[in-house]
Amino acid sequence: VVRLLARRTSTAGLTRRGFASESAPDRKVAILGAAGGIGQPLSLLMKLNPLVSRLALYDIAGTPGVAADILGYAGEEQLGKALEGADVVIIPAGVPRKPGMTRDDLFNINAGIVKSLCTAIAKYCPHALVNVISNPVNSTVPIASEVFKKAGTYDEKRLFGVTTLDVVRAKTFYAGKAKVNVADVNVPVVGGHAGVTILPLFSQATPSANLSSEDIQALTKRTQDGGTEVVEAKAGKGSATLSMAYAGAIFADACLKGLNGVPDVVECSFVQSTVTDLPFFASKVRLGKNGVEEVLGLGALSDYEKEGLEALKPELKSSIEKGIKFANA
Ligand code: NAI
C-alpha cells in the first residue's frame, strides 16, 4: 500500500483566494485512487484549490512519483491515515471502460473497491462528504449508502455521486449549438450517470435559444454518449480523465464552499432523493454546512424530457437495486 500525503498548501507558496487566510477553515481533502488517469490531474487541481489546506492522496498502485511530483512526500502509512480528519473524500478508484463496454460492465471490479474504501471511510472519517466518481455511479452510490448504514454512519446529506461531467458536456455542446459563450451557460442534468439515465434538461438551459427539436434530440444523445465517445477515441487506453478531473474539481470545490458557509451553492449530483419514486436520483442540489441542504425538484419538463424521464427509470432502478444487493450479499 502506498499512501501519498500532501503538505499544507501554504507551504507550497499558494495563497488561499476567496477568503482571508485567517478566517478560512482548515479543510482536508482525501483522494482515493489518486495515481490514476483521473486521480493525477484531479490531485493537481485540488492542490491548486485555495480552500484545501491538507490534501491526502491514496492509491494502491506503487506510484509515489505522483506525490513527489506535486506534493512533497510519500509515506508507508495506511489508508486510515489518509482519511483521518478528512472533510471531503473523492473516490476516482477503479477500472475505466474499454471500447464496447458499458459502465455496468465495470461493476464486478469497482463495486468491491468502493465497498472496501467506504468501509474505511466509515471507520476513519464518518462525517466526511463523499464524492463517488467510480463507475457505475448508479450502483456505487447505493453500495456506499449500504456500507455506511451497516456501519451506523450513514447520513444521506453527505453522499454524492459525481455527475458534474454530464453537466460540463451538456453545457459545452449546448453552447456550441446555440452559439453562446459556454461560461454563461447553465443546463441541469438529472437522472443517473449512464447512457439513457443521463437526462439533460435543455428546455431549462440558459441563456435560452430557439433550438429545433432535432437539435435538442441530437444534443441529448451526444450528452448521453459523451463518455462512450471518449472511450472509443482512446481506443482501449481508458475513459475521460482530464475532463473528469476538471468536473471532479468543480464538484469538490462546491462541496467545500458549502461546508464553509458560502450561500447558494447549487450543483447537480446523484443523491438520495424523493424527487421521483427512485431512492437515488440526480438533480440540482443546494450544498451547505452539512452537505446536502436541499434536493431541488425537476422544474417544468418538456414532453420530450418527460418521455426521457419515464424511459430512464427501469434501468436506473435496476442499477440501484444491483448495488444494494451487492452490498448486502
Ligand atoms: P485508472 O485505471 O487510470 O485509475 C484508477 C486508479 O485507481 C489506479 O491508480 C488504481 O491503482 C486505483 N485503485 C484501484 N483500486 C484501488 C483501491 N482499492 N484503493 C485506491 N485506489 C485504487 O482509471 P481512471 O480513468 O482514473 O477512472 C477511474 C474511475 O472513474 C473508473 O471507474 C471510471 O469509470 C470512472 N469515471 C467516472 C466518471 C464520472 O463521470 N463519474 C467519468 C470518467 C471515469
CA distances from residue 292 to 223, 254, 269, 286, 297 in whole angstroms, order as listed: 25, 11, 10, 6, 13
The cell 468501509 sits on which residue?
119
195's grid cell: 447512457
Q: Work out the number of other CB atoms within 10 angstroms of the CB of residue 233.
A: 10
Residue linked to cell 464524492: 131
Q: Across all residues in the chain, what is the average pLDDT? A: 90
Query: What torsion, rounded to 10 degrees, do the Cα atoms 45, 128, 238, 172 define?
Result: -60
Grade residue 59 by pLDDT with cuts at 50, 70 and 90.
confident
Percentage of the chain modeled with pLDDT above 90: 81
Atom of ligand 1 minimally distant from the CA of 58: 20
Measured in residues, the chain has a length of 329
Would you state the cell numbers that stand for residue 307, as one nine-digit string? 418521455
pLDDT digits (tens, 9 = 90+) for 168-193: 999 999 999 999 999 999 999 999 99
Task: Record the cell numbers describing residue 186, joined without a space.
Answer: 447553465
125 grid coordinates: 472519517
Query: Ligand 1 — pocket residues by CB below 6 A?
Result: 32-33, 35-39, 58-61, 92-97, 106, 110, 113, 116-117, 133-135, 137, 162, 165, 193, 238-241, 244
pTM for the whole thing?
0.92
Asked whether the predicted pLDDT for residue 56 surpasses 80, the reply is yes
Going by pLDDT thresholds of 50, 70 and 90, the confidence category of residue 79 is: confident
Nearest Cα neighbor of 305 from 188, 168, 179, 208 is 188
Interval between CA 38 and ligand 1 midpoint (Å): 7
Which range among 62-71, 152-161, 194-203, 241-250 shows the weakest confidence by mean pLDDT?
62-71
Tens-place pLDDT, residues 199-233: 999 999 999 999 999 999 999 999 999 999 999 98
Q: Per-residue confidence at 136, pLDDT binned at 50, 70, 90?
A: very high
CB 281 within 8 A of CB 270: yes
* Residues facing residue 58 across a β-bridge: 3, 32
Q: Give residue 60's pLDDT band: very low, low, confident or very high (50, 70, 90).
A: confident
Task: Give 158's DSSP letter.
Answer: G
**CA 178 to each of CA 7, 174, 182, 218, 305: distance values in angstroms, whole numbers, following the listed order:** 44, 6, 10, 13, 19
For residue 238, the ligand 1 atom closest to its alpha carbon is 25
User: Amino acid letter at 239?
Assistant: S
Q: Hey, whose CA ends up nearest to atom 41 of ligand 1?
A: 133
**Predicted confidence (pLDDT) per residue in 224-277, tens digit:** 999 999 999 888 888 999 999 999 999 999 999 999 999 999 999 999 999 999
Q: Are 180 and 202 in contact (CB under 8 A)?
A: no
The sign of the CA dihedral 158, 135, 34, 40 is negative
List active site positions: 193
Closest CA to 249 of 120, 188, 162: 162
Atom 35, ligand 1: which residue's CA is nearest? 134
Q: What is the pLDDT of residue 24?
A: 79
Q: How far apart are CA 49 and CA 44, in angstroms?
A: 9
Quote the pLDDT of residue 318: 98
Q: Check pLDDT > 50 for residue 8.
A: no
